[in-house]
Chain A
Amino acid sequence: MYVPIGVSWGLILSALILWSLLAFASLFIPKVPRIAPLIFPLGALGALGVAVAGLLALHGPPVATVSPLGLPGLPFHGRLDALSGLFLVLFGLTTVAISLDLTGYRAREHYPVAARIGVQYHILLVSLTLVFVAADAYSFLIAWEAMALSSYLLVVTDHRTSAARRAGFLYILIEHIGALAIVAAFAILIAQTPVGTPLSYTFTALQARHPDPTIAGLVFLLAFFGFGAKAGLVPLHVWLPQAHPVAPSPISALLSSVLLKAGIYGLLRVAFIVLPTPAPWWGLTVLTVGLLTALLGALSSAVQSDMKRLLAYSSVENIGLITAAIGLALLFSAYGLKALAALALIAALYHCLNHAFFKGLLFLGTGSVLHATGERNLGRLGGLIHRMPKTALLMLIGTLAIAGVPPLNGFVSEWLTLQSFLKATALPRPYLAMGIPLGAALIALVAGLAGYVMVKFYGIVFLGRPREAGLAHAVESGPFERAGLGLLALLCLALGLWPAGVIALIRPAARLLTGADAPITVGYAGARVGVAHAGYAPVVLWVAFGVIACTAILMLRARSGRAARRATVWNCGHPLVGARMQDTAEGFGQPIRNIFTAFLAVRRRLPAPDDLTPRYGSVVEDRFWENLYRPAARGFETIFIWTAALRPRRIAISLMFVLATLIVLLALAP
């Protein structure tokens, strides 16, 4: 039977088939090295197809499909709507860049490692696509678990080091706890099916359940917990700073850019589409957790001295901002302010896109630095702008974007988030109307801290003088890596300079979730965005910047009247200034470490006064380790010891327990 499936499904299916074939072909890389250079570029091609399919789905009507795969009577349902489309665009574009980067990465890795990455990476891509298009709880969960397992295997690519194994275990543990919560959420919702109707697992059927407020609240909490574990919300964010440093850099980029967004996608799908109108406390919970996550992420990233840990905490911060905006949207829709909810959602989704692109850029760039120098520790880097000028330029765009500097993309979404926070005065409850705009202050603080972190990151890695002699041998990244970086940098510029176009893309998704249009006006030939009394036009801003800069230069020239003269550098009175005397990452983070002691657990090591070889050190840790995770681990250990004491030594006695249990249960049965 011929069923027309349309262009977008055709593209997605061919990408899925292509990726599956590539995963299979990667197995043979060690045997047939000739195929190796083809694997990842072809993967990029598939990702491009998925991005195009997402773009088509954003504006077309939702297209549903039923796949012949699955258990008998339980087929896989797929559905392409605006929300799926938006995340497919995000996923596809980021993956094109990551696959290009992996092409270069593969060329310098050993064949077995490249083969392993090739297999798991393409399986991960397939399962991520399925997560975004699944339309029933059953296939969604299968794709979700496949995604978790394949990403776990990628995290432990370097499984010979114990750090990687421990980080991988922490990741899979938190992932499993989250997945259990998601399963429970869906199970409770499915159990609401009235007696007599056949059980159906599709999201449309679950949407029609209309559970009572208590059940809906419970389902929402479980889903928030489960998806929050994936997205990295406090206090379940601890796996991020462990897993990112040990994974290969392109994989870190994929984890941070796309996998965290899968959690956001699930939250949006369940909270706005599957569940009925939210209660106000849902929004407040999400908002509080989001703001807390953003603040903690920003503070923690300010005190890190490992490049990838710093970026991982920065991801936590960005996810916090996105979640806070989602919480605001839930709050607005709880009080029926649909248009404002759409505004907050546009801010959140815009930031999702932004974060995917600039964080992908930064992680891939970090990978290039790591390859060139073999060093992740900020204390041993420096002055790389001279050795890797092109990478440095592209990374500069990424750092400016993440710091929220106009006219790049980070500014637009943060501005929209602030605008929607200020619009909270429209809420009908006085406490909320007065309290929530204060959240804007917190957002501003987080944005400021993000800027601080990025000055530290870029300044220490690329500026100044090399802190180690070995850095003189650093080499510029290869053409494939630069292509990936360049694509993401271009996207950052485009999203910053053309916000009206991006908002036009996101609008259908926000409309699907809230049922209303956001009060955003678009003007000046598509380059100006306005929300009620405020407006932002990047091109005008840029032109103004340029005019001011040129005038300032010209005025200075005119006043000084002389050409520049050269003189010896004044050395501040220090006769010997070495590269090691430059400001360090620890020194840069010191004020934050001291001001925000309440949020961070700092262990300092101070030598005794009579120590002849004094060594100073400080370790910064999440407070959650000492206050939540270690006590929990000790508690579980105690329970296990008790259980082990109950265990009989003889197998026959264990079996007797089984028989006795069975008999007791049968005897008790009514």
Chain B
Amino acid sequence: MTPWSSPIDLLAALFLLVAFAMLSQRRLANLITLYAWQGTILTFSIAIVAYATDSAHLYASALLTGLLKILLVPALLRRLARRLDVQWDRESLVQIPTVMLIGLGLVIFAFNAALPIAAAGHIANHAIVGIALASVLLSLLMMILRATALSQVIGFLALENSLIFVATSVTYGMPMVIEFGIALDVIVGIFILGVFFFHIREQFDSLDINHIERRED
């Protein structure tokens, strides 16, 4: 494992960087590209772990992740954004520096919280757990701060990516059955949400969450 820990460290750092980039990205089209990059990093890290542990099912997992998260899901999201005509809308965010500072706080917290988990696991590098945990928290933060439904969904997908990253880097992957299950869930989820978006827009003339919340009162 030792010779392969440095590339994984590098990928983990990139993963965190992408998470921050997603947090501050205002355009939906760019957000989808970032999501695809995140998927690429994830695929590579699973492939490296697969090579290092020489396990066939992780190779299959990497292949599945690659197909799903680099090609299929971003393509579906792009099509959805194009048909909803929201690709280049500029989202109103809370001030980006403030968001970045909150994100930094979360990362520091995550590293502290990860220490006992990493000690319990069989992993050489404690930082990876911290990074993965931080990405989970950052994705949640992104979901909180976004105002449109589609970018909230991307936040949710990023959350799922981070969880898979934790799973592969800490325990060398989940059982194949569960991974298949999650993959299926993601695809079905995207399709259902896609249908929902059209309905939401028809009903409220907007994908902005604020409109929906106001109607509900």
Contact = CB atoms under 8 A, between A and B. Distances in A.
Interface stretch (A87-95, A274-282, A647-655): A647-655
Nearest to A667: B113
Contacts of B176: 72
A655 B113 contact: no
A655 B143 contact: yes
B89 interface: no
Contact of B140 (A649, A651, A658, A670): A658
B137 A662 contact: yes
A659 interface: yes
Contact of A651 (B113, B136, B137, B213): B213
B145 interface: yes
B140 A655 contact: yes
Nearest to B214: A649
B154 to A, nearest CB: 14
A349 B97 CA distance: 75
A649 B144 contact: no
A234 B178 CA distance: 41
A282 B133 CA distance: 49
B216 A669 contact: no
B216 A649 contact: yes
B115 to A, nearest CB: 10
B161 to A, nearest CB: 17
A652 B209 contact: yes
Contacts of B212: 651
Contacts of B109: 663, 666-667
A659 B141 contact: yes
A656 interface: yes
Contact of A666 (B113, B145, B216): B113
Contact of A655 (B144, B177, B216): B144
Interface in B96-133: 109-110, 113, 116-117, 133
Contacts of B209: 650-652
A652 B145 contact: yes
Interface residues of A, number: 16
B177 A72 contact: yes
A649 B213 contact: yes
B213 A650 contact: yes
A654 to B, nearest CB: 9
A328 to B, nearest CB: 46
Nearest to B114: A666
Contacts of A72: 176-177
Residues of B contacting A: mostly? helix
Given A649-B216, A655-B143, A656-B144, A669 B116 contact: yes
Contacts of A669: 113, 116-117
A656 B144 CA distance: 6
Contact of A659 (B117, B140, B152, B177): B140
A651 B137 CA distance: 17
Nearest to B212: A651
A525 interface: no
Contacts of A670: 116
Interface string A626-659: 0000000000000000000000011110011011
B85 interface: no
Interface string B176-203: 1100000000000000000000000000
A347 to B, nearest CB: 47
Interface in B129-165: 133, 136-137, 140-141, 143-145, 152
Nearest to B133: A666
A658 B72 CA distance: 29
Interface in A68-106: 71-72
Contact of A71 (B140, B152, B177): B177
Given A71-B177, A652-B209, A667-B113, A659 B145 contact: no
Contacts of A652: 144-145, 209
B176 to A, nearest CB: 8
A660 to B, nearest CB: 10
Contacts of B177: 71-72
Contacts of B117: 669
A553 to B, nearest CB: 76
A666 B209 CA distance: 29
Nearest to A668: B113
Contacts of B116: 669-670
A645 to B, nearest CB: 14
Among all A-B residue pairs, the 8 with the closest Cβ atoms: A666-B113, A655-B144, A659-B140, A652-B144, A655-B143, A650-B213, A656-B144, A651-B209
Given A651-B212, A669-B113, 19 more contacts: A72-B176, A72-B177, A649-B216, A649-B217, A651-B152, A651-B213, A655-B143, A656-B144, A659-B140, A659-B144, A662-B136, A662-B137, A662-B140, A663-B137, A666-B109, A666-B113, A666-B133, A669-B116, A670-B116
18 contacts: A72-B177, A649-B213, A650-B209, A650-B213, A651-B209, A651-B212, A651-B213, A652-B209, A655-B143, A655-B144, A656-B144, A659-B140, A662-B136, A662-B140, A666-B133, A667-B109, A669-B113, A669-B117
